[in-house]
Amino acid sequence: MLRAVHLWGRRRAMGAGAALAAGSPLRQPQRWFRQQGAAHPNDSAAAESEELEKDRAALRKYGFMGVFAALCAATVWYGSEQAKKRYFGEMGSARVNVETRGRPALGGPFVLVNTKGEPVSQAEFLGSWAFFYFGFTHCPEICPVELNRMTHVVNTVRERRPKEAIVPLFVSCDPKRDSLEAIDEYLSVFHPDFVGLVGTPKQVNDACKSYRIYYSIPSEEDANTDDYLIDHSIAIFLFDPQGRFVDFFGNRYDENEIADKVDYYMGQYEKDPTWTNW
C-alpha cells in the first residue's frame, strides 16, 4: 500500500512538472489569461506605461513647438523694433532736411466772404499775424474747445506784445448750413475780433486744399436732415505778417505752450523779418 501511495504521488508530481513545462498558468500566466479571454494585471500596467510614454513624447513635442514659436515671436518683435528705429531715424533725417531746405507749401490764395457779406482774400491779412481754424458752427465739442484755445492764445500774446497785429480767423467747412448770420453769432461767444469766413462749396473746397485741410461732408441723402456732423482736420495754423506759413498746433499743445511758441516766433521775426527757420 505504501508503494502504491508513493507511485501515485510520483505520478502527480510528474504531471505537474509536465504541465509547467507545457506552459501552464503557473508557468506562463499572461498567455493563460489571454487564452481564457481575461486581461492579465501586467497587461494593464503595460498599457498604462505605454500611455505614459506617449504623453511624455507629446509633451516633448509640443514643448519644443512652444519654444520654437516663442523664438519666432521674439525674432519678429525684434525685427519690428529695428524697422521702427530705422524708419523713425529716416524720418528724423528727412525732417532735418525739410527744415533746412524750406517749409511746407501750405496756404495760398483764396476768395471767401466775411460775415458782412464782403469778399475777402488772403491779401487782406498781410501785415498781421494770422491764426486760421477750419470748422463748422454745428460742431458739438471739438470746435468750441479749439476756438477757446485760440481766444486764450490771442489774449495772452496781446498782453505780452500789445503792438503786434493779430487776427484770429474761422473758416467754415459747412457752406450749406453756416449762413453769415449763424457764423457771426457763433463767433461772438468766443472773441469779438474773430473774422468768420465762408463761401460757395467750390470756394471752401479750394481754400481747404490750399491749407491742406481734410474734411468730409455726408452724402446728399444723409445730409437731407440738416442734422449731420463733418469730419475735418483739427489744428490751428499760424502765418506771419508776410503771409508765410509758420507753424500749426494740434491738441498736444495747451494754450500756454502755444502762446510761448508764438511769442518766440514773433521775437525772432522782430529781430530779422527774413528769418524763416521756424
The DSSP bridge pattern shows strands 166-172 and 195-198 to be parallel
Q: Which residues sit opposite 120 in a β-bridge? A: 112
Output the CA torsion sign for 250, 251, 253, 259.
positive
Annotated binding residue 139: yes
Annotated binding residue 143: yes
Integer Cα distance of 114 and 144 in angstroms: 20
For residues 28-41, b (16+ Cβ closer than 10 Å) or e, as one string?
Answer: eeeeebeeeeeeee
Q: What is the DSSP string of 101-123?
A: H---------EEEETTS-EEEGG
How many C-beta atoms surround the C-beta of residue 133 within 10 A? 21
Annotated binding residue 72: no
Give the DSSP H or E segment for 167. Answer: strand 166-172
Annotated binding site for Cu cation: 139, 143, 232
Residues belonging to the binding site are: 139, 143, 232
